[in-house]
Amino acid sequence: MASPDRERARGILNDVWQEVSDEDGKAYSREVSPAVRANIAQLLKSEAVSFTYSLPTQLLGKVTHPELDCLCLQRGENEESQWDPRSFAASVVVPWVDDNEHVLGTSKDPYVSNPLRQARVVPNPPNVRTNTLPLWQALHEVLSDVEARNDPNYTLAVLREVLRQTHEILKSRQFNYPKLTRVSLEQTLLLVRRLLEASREGEHGMSLAAALFKVIGRRFGLWDEVRRQASTTADQASGMTADLECRRHGETVYSVEIKERTIKLSDVVAFDEKLSRGGLTEALINTPGVASSDAEGIRNRIRLMWGRGINLYSANIEEIVSVTLSLAGEAGRLEFVAEVGNQLDEFARPSGKAAWRDHLKSILDGTEFG
């Protein structure tokens, strides 16, 4: 089985990225047709990690090792052209994405999705949502064209175009958020609700909570650091006990689990187990509510946890904002609004950043309640 040299792949990726960065992403290759460029744009702007990661991964693998089949998704036993894009992406592309402001997403294992867990890229894969079929067809068209030509120069040109468009996306993500000089508690709560309405995969809830707990730490001196993970990263993979860890002098003193849905008893049990393993005694589940069928079981579990020395609390983000940012005053609310922008800049998709910018503009324009 063939396998691309990963050190060489990293070098190629960095070199081509440096080229398009030096040119500020303006010079596209004439070798790449308008139709292929349009397909690339469609895939990268989809914000779905199955496409944003697999497109450069498949191309980079073939640029590094031209004998590879860039339509191949899984290693085989006999064919020399078969390879393992999943592990290649995890070790080469994912770290590069992380180093470049998560420009293609925040997944640590983008090939884990079912459609990519098949032998080859096909235009009509089974068990996918109908609205994603045009994206699978676009991916197949780009890669099958590269494979049919089997020309290293052309493959490199297509990869370069992918990175050129990626550079343009990165530039567009550098939002200039309006700077508020006044913000009421009512306006702050409205900003929180509107951002949550546009949330995907929990990323906005995570950013709001991380911003709030950073402000709490600074304003009330309860901790000096807040660590967070990307919304798509499992706690076990990150080595953290929860989505947020509030630390003082390097030790976790408060853990926060973020759920943008009602919680079940199984959520509390799982969190209890993580807290127990970590020896932590103070924690919060940030959730909009509790499943009515599990309410009594959750109350009983929390009592049992208290008996074992673990204090677990449950509250939604609006409740916490309302209390803490009343105590922190308007200066604290302005600090919170600015910190949300920082969190979104680092972790959110462009659509989330644009939504926050537009909501802040509505505050400045006085149209937020219109």
DSSP, residue by residue, 221-256? -S-SEEEE--TTS-HHHHT-SSSEEEEETTEEEEEE
Residue with tokens 């910018």, as numbered in its chain: 357
- The whole-number average pLDDT for the span 287-306 is 96
312-322 residues labelled b (16+ CB within 10 A) or e (exposed): bebebbeebbb
37-46 CB burial, b ≥16 within 10 A, e <16: bebbbbbbeb
pLDDT of residue 367: 87
* pLDDT surpasses 80 at 303: yes
94: pLDDT confidence band, cut at 50, 70 and 90?
very high
Percent of the chain with pLDDT over 90: 69
Q: Specify the pLDDT at position 229.
A: 80
pLDDT of res. 117: 82
Tens digits of residue pLDDT in 219-253: 999 999 999 986 655 545 557 889 999 999 999 99
- Single-letter amino acid, residue 83: W
pLDDT of residue 179: 93
Of 249 and 354, the one with more pLDDT: 249
Average pLDDT, the chain: 90
Name beta bridge partners: 314: 285
The reported pTM is: 0.61
Please name each of the domains of the chain with its CATH number: 6-172 (no CATH), 185-365 (3.40.1350)
Among 177, 252, 190, 183, which residue's Cα sits nearest to residue 222? Answer: 252
Task: Report which of residues 293 and 106 the model is more confident about.
Answer: 293
Find, among 260, 271, 254, the residue nearest to 202 by Cα.
260
Per-residue pLDDT tens digits for 194-228? 999 887 667 899 999 999 999 999 999 999 999 99
Task: Answer whether residue 1 shows pLDDT above 60.
Answer: no
Q: Give me the pLDDT at residue 270, please.
A: 96
| 83-92, 311-320, 342-351, 352-361: the lowest-pLDDT one | 342-351
pLDDT tens-digit readout, 153-180: 999 999 999 999 998 888 776 677 899 9
> Which pLDDT belongs to residue 233?
54
Percentage of the residues of the chain whose pLDDT score is greater than 70: 93
